[in-house]
Structure 1
Amino acid sequence: MKGQRTKLGAVLVLLVSFIVGFGSVAGGNSQAATTKIEAPATTIAAKAGIAVAADNGQILAAKDIDTSLPIASMSKSLSLYLVLQAVKDGKLTWTQEIKPSAKIVTLSQNMDLSNIPLETDKSYTVKELYEASTIYSANAAIMALAEAVSGSQSAFVDAMRAQLEKWGAKNYEIVNVSGLNNSYLSDDRYAGTAADAENKMSARDVAMVAQHLLTEFPEFLETSRKTSIDFHGTTYPTWNLLLPGESAAQKDLPVDGIKTGTSDQAGDCFVGTVKKDGFRIITVVLHADGNADDQAKRFTATAALMNSIYQNWHQVALFQAKKTSSHLAAVKVTNSKQKTVAVVPDKTVKLYLPKSTTAKQLDFKLTKGDASQAAPIAKYDQLGTINLPEVGAGFLQGANSIKVNVLAKSGVTALTWWEKVWQNITGLFNK
């Protein structure tokens, strides 16, 4: 009898606690480490280099990617980005005519540099100077554009630095708009820079510039893929010998950009891009290996890198926005008759994986977010985030720059007050 009274007393105590108030603790999967997927071994025949997926910045191959090195005329990739931005913003128009300064005209006559000669008292359209800068890497042409955009080359250098800072670049030194050694610029040097200074950037940061250029201004490829430019009656060839039809071209690599760079300090450099097998990559080679008289070594190194990426990597569609996925398990729900709720991702996600790895081999762990997993839950409430697997060297912006929010596929109704009481009482007796 005493035992029955004790049990009945316990029930009454529980019943009172429910009447006073009922608390429900959200359930959820604890965070677990995801096994790192190693990148296939890739040889980069250069002092430093990188290969990335153009769409999401995933790093597919890397060698000394955070060391700042001279980049010569690859600097023009950033300068041309700012020119395109100026056209987009209405600061310049393609038909607008620019009259180069006397100093720029004088420098343009130095054919030991990459130049298209300009004439005194003659004007050139923005389009002409843009194409000359892109295709023939004309130093005087990009200087004239820089002055048109910012009023002076020094102000344009400030804009270049500010843009890199905005993008989160970490390892760079920008001293002029063209990539020439400062020794060619005499008294036009940027204040405080050494007489023999050159622009420097890490392979990661060069790739970041190229990614922004191609993502925000895909029309750039319409110019960078051209193999020559006709400038006032004279034809000038491209320096990009990997373009189709050029001497270093490979038939299975439809390269269409971006920019070469050459100087005594930088050696032979190249930031290139190609689209094949449904996805585009960007490659950077800084100071290519090889003999000084080998004019093709940067392209040989780039082609080998590009081929290695397409041989060893494939693009995998992991999630489609707000569609169920076999990778996402249902989430446990408390405070409801419904025990689980199906979940969907908030965005479409594609990831690049070694061909030896398939999506079925991946294990995704849910990390509980701010939203409670206790009912009531509305349709598309966020229930947590997904940690994508760590693949190789990660992304340009960091180890794991893609975040996927997990949403409830449908709403979940909460228990009524009496249902809460009854559920807990019956649960106690079942125990």
Structure 2
Amino acid sequence: MKKSVKALGMVMTAILITMVAIIPAPISTHAQPNNIEAKSAILVDAETGQILYEKEADLALPPASMTKMMTEYLVLEAIENGDISWDTTTTISDYAYWLSSDNAFSGIGLRQNKEYTVEELYTAMAVNSDNATTVALAELVAGSEGEFVKMMNQKAQEMGLPEAEFVNSTGLGNSDLGEYYPEGTSADADNYLSARSAALLAYHLINDYPQALDYSSITEAKLDKESFTNWNWMLPGMPGQLAPFGYEGLDGMKTGWTDEAGYCFTGTAERNNRRLISVVMRTDSEEARFEETRKLLDYGFNQTKTAEIYPADYQKKDDSTLEVNKGKEQSVEIATDQAIRGVVPSGEEKPYEIEFTLDKSKLNEDGELTAPLKKGEAVGTAQIKYTGEELFGYITEDIGQDANVQLVTQDSVEKANWFTLTFRAIGDFFSDVFGGIADWFKGLF
């Protein structure tokens, strides 16, 4: 009987081992997406500005209608500055009218005997990628498209957009514009952006003017009784056969296509209070630009998270105090004034180190602070350094610097009175004398 039980146990064990062996091991999805079928691409965390993925992200390419993100920014800036309002009206120039009459230019068919509001024109630009309404807005803001192009390039410099060059407000090639190409540009010129600069432009647009998303997320709109559908098929709630492309949380930003540029898309989505920005440039088809964007966003949301890396009031063990000169107290504690957040890839528990950098202008030649000091006084900065393998730094050095937090004093320190300072000086003198004598005697033996 015992032999039978033992034999049965051995058989069951063998079966279990065999079953475990044939069960496929779980596939790790932690690795970076390596099959993004686009000439250039990038994925950015919109809160921290950290790059989660990049592929030839600095390659300057024609961005087609993604150019309009800069036009949107400047229109929204003009509204904020009070130069125009959503209700400001304007008429349609011969140039804009010519564009609007051509279906190849996403023309709606504007009328020259009518005044259009800024909001009507902006909606058509954001939703239908309409070129005529884009030009009408550029002319309204700057007086002419040529002057508007100067504003675009100036703003690109202010934003630090790498490899950015604007020659018109729409993203069409100047060769498409015939006699209407903007003054100050050449007849065969084209706009250029890298994926990095497109993502950075979207980053500024979203963070500076979040209302832009209210318009980029509109699925269908109408102007002059002409209905149009957003070219961004990934918006949730798209009609009919476009519905399967919908992506949860996606609310922008801008598609683009020309023969030279291919199919491009700057996308952004928010889930669980976290926003990502993606760019794909020169994909093979209209569908492909959304399929590749989905891969990027899925990776970002599923395999990375934004978390608190170090809390507010954090102190480093060996750098928690600073000596204070001429103070009632001779030292003061320092700590971070706020929490530091960063992106954490899946499987990396502690991929950061923290560095404290003291403000040398606040220290004397002995490395001491000088009283009096206020509680919460800034004496330096703290920054995190990524030590893992999955991230690619910040989209710009400035944004990386903005991620730093201040080191501040944890208490106030009043200046000591003359008696205390004198007593300390006497004490320091005798301490130095006795220390010197002790060293002399040690040298004798």
Q: 2:77 aligns with which of 79, 82, 85?
A: 85
Alignment of 1:46-125 (within 5 A): 46-125=38-117
**Aligned-CA RMSD value:** 2.6
Counterpart of 2:23 in structure 1 is none
Paired AA for residue 416 in structure 1? L
Question: Could you tell me how far 1:229 is from its partner in structure 2?
Answer: 0.7
Matched, 1:395 2:389: no
Matched, 1:228 2:224: no
SS of equivalent residue, structure 2 residue 105:
coil
Q: 2:130 aligns with which of 134, 138, 141?
A: 138
Question: Could you tell me how far 1:411 is from its partner in structure 2?
Answer: 2.8
SS of equivalent residue, structure 1 residue 333:
strand
SS of equivalent residue, structure 2 residue 125:
helix
Equivalenced residues, count = 386
Looking at structure 2, the residues matched to 75 and 374 of structure 1 have their Cα atoms a distance apart, in angstroms, of 50
1:351-389 deviation digits (Å, cap 9, x = unpaired): 222233345x53323223222234536123333322321
Contact 2:233-2:245 at 8 Å conserved across structures: no
Looking at structure 2, the residues matched to 94 and 310 of structure 1 have their Cα atoms a distance apart, in angstroms, of 35
Counterpart of 2:3 in structure 1 is none
Matched, 1:383 2:379: yes
Counterpart of 1:422 in structure 2 is 427
Matched, 1:213 2:202: no
1:8-48 deviation digits (Å, cap 9, x = unpaired): xxxxxxxxxxxxxxxxxxxxxxxxxxxxxxx9623333111
Looking at structure 2, the residues matched to 100 and 142 of structure 1 have their Cα atoms a distance apart, in angstroms, of 11
1:67-110 deviation digits (Å, cap 9, x = unpaired): 21110000111001111112222222222222101232122111
TM value normalised by structure 1 = 0.82
235-244 vs 404-413, greater mean Cα deviation = 404-413
1:191-228 deviation digits (Å, cap 9, x = unpaired): 45443332111111111211111111111111111111
Relative CO higher for 1 or 2, CA cutoff 8 Å, sep ≥ 6? 1
SS of equivalent residue, structure 1 residue 364:
strand
Counterpart of 1:303 in structure 2 is 294
Counterpart of 1:406 in structure 2 is 407
Paired AA for residue 224 in structure 1? S
Q: 1:324 aligns with which of 310, 313, 326?
A: 313
Question: Could you tell me how far 1:332 is from its partner in structure 2?
Answer: 4.2
Looking at structure 2, the residues matched to 425 and 68 of structure 1 have their Cα atoms a distance apart, in angstroms, of 70
Q: 1:255 aligns with which of 238, 250, 253?
A: 250
1:383-420 deviation digits (Å, cap 9, x = unpaired): 33223214732222228323322111113466633134
Contact 1:182-1:189 at 8 Å conserved across structures: yes
SS of equivalent residue, structure 1 residue 62:
strand
Contact 2:236-2:247 at 8 Å conserved across structures: no
Counterpart of 1:365 in structure 2 is 355
Structure 2, unpaired ranges of 5+: 1-29, 440-445
Contact 2:64-2:256 at 8 Å conserved across structures: yes
Question: Could you tell me how far 1:300 is from its partner in structure 2?
Answer: 0.4
Paired AA for residue 281 in structure 2? L
Contact 1:248-1:299 at 8 Å conserved across structures: no
Sequence identity, in percent? 30
39-48 vs 274-283, greater mean Cα deviation = 39-48
Q: 1:271 aligns with which of 240, 253, 266?
A: 266
Alignment of 1:16-31 (within 5 A): none
Paired AA for residue 388 in structure 1? I
167-176 vs 394-403, greater mean Cα deviation = 394-403
Contact 1:342-1:408 at 8 Å conserved across structures: yes
Paired AA for residue 273 in structure 1? T
1:231-277 deviation digits (Å, cap 9, x = unpaired): 22221011000001332656663100010000111110001110113
Paired AA for residue 32 in structure 2? A
Looking at structure 2, the residues matched to 331 and 343 of structure 1 have their Cα atoms a distance apart, in angstroms, of 6
Structure 1, unpaired ranges of 5+: 1-38
Paired AA for residue 236 in structure 2? P
Looking at structure 2, the residues matched to 46 and 58 of structure 1 have their Cα atoms a distance apart, in angstroms, of 21
**Structure (1 or 2) with the greater helix fraction:** 2
Looking at structure 2, the residues matched to 377 and 59 of structure 1 have their Cα atoms a distance apart, in angstroms, of 42
Counterpart of 2:344 in structure 1 is 353
Matched, 1:200 2:192: yes
Alignment of 1:230-249 (within 5 A): 230-246=222-238, 247=242
